[in-house]
Each structure stands twice: as C-alpha cells, then as structure tokens.
Amino acid sequence: MVHDPACDNIWRFFKRFKQHLNNQEWAVKGITTDGSLLYPDPIVDVFGSDVEHQFCEFHVLQEITKGVLKAVTTPRKTLKAKKVKCGRGRPSGKVGRRIARQNKRTQQESKDLFDHRHLFVKKKRTPAERKILLRITRGSPKLRNLRSITDEV
C-alpha cells in the first residue's frame, strides 16, 4: 500500500482473501496478526467469531521491550532533575565541594543507566554484565523489577 491502511482496507483485503480460499475450498482456522486495532472487527465481520485470532509473539515481545526501555528513561530524567545548579568555576568551600561531588555522582548514575540500558532487555548476560546491572540498580527496586519482568517474559 502507498498509504497507511484503514479498517476498510483491511476489510476489503480479508473479503478478497476469503473468496480465494472459498475458490480453493479451503477454510481459515486461525489468524495471527501484529496486534493492531485494525484487525479484530474485520476478522469477525468476514470470517465470523469462530475463527481464532492471536497476536504475533514477536510483536508482543517488541512492545514489552519498548515499554521496559521507556521505563528506564524515567529514572534518568529524575536524576537529571536532581542535579543542583552551582556557580561557574571551581567549587569553593565545603558545601560547594559536596554539591559538586553529588552532581558528579548523579551524572555518572545517569550515564550508566543510558550506557547499559540494553542490559534490562538482553536475554543472556555474562557474569560481568550481571554485575554491572546489579551495580546500576542498587537502591532502586523499581529498576530491578523491570529486569525481572523481562526475565519472566
């Protein structure tokens, strides 16, 4: 198609497909789609409610992966907002040095989350990658839960 499909395009496609199947004297027992909301109504209209409709496993995993990676960005944004604004030049006094250390630590945590975000969705990790993941999720049970979700899937 030259354009994005609409519900009526899908309906016409299924109608022609069913005609071809009827000409061959074949029947549809099930349909697998990518999970788009365009499919359920035309499938029921053309094939009836007896036809089993399932979602493609690849597309479901893809959506879960996108969701987990998007959820990892939230703590990064929180860390960025946590950074304290300080003056230009070298930090002076105890308070200035403490703020500079905190900002540097916060910046490193944010960088680690960005650099190693793939570890949250990677299927098999090496022992070194497991250690990195434990280090960057330390003190954040929400991030550890994200990894456990992908392990379960």
> Which DSSP string corresponds to 118-149?
GGGT-SS--HHHHHHHHHHTTT-HHHHHHHHH
Q: CA 137, CA 75: separation in Å to the nearest integer?
A: 10
SS3 85: coil
pLDDT at 128: 93
Q: What is the pLDDT of residues 67-111, one digit of tens each?
A: 888 888 888 888 777 777 777 777 778 888 888 888 888 888 888
Q: CA 145, CA 91: separation in Å to the nearest integer?
A: 38
Q: What is the pLDDT of residues 124-138, one digit of tens each?
A: 889 999 899 888 888
Q: CA 114, CA 106: separation in Å to the nearest integer?
A: 12
pLDDT at 127: 93
pLDDT at 131: 92
Assign 123 a pLDDT band (cuts: 50, 70, 90): confident
Q: CA 130, CA 56: separation in Å to the nearest integer?
A: 30
Q: What is the pLDDT of residues 6-56, one digit of tens each?
A: 778 888 999 999 999 999 999 888 999 888 888 888 888 988 888 898 988
Q: What is the pTM of this model?
A: 0.65
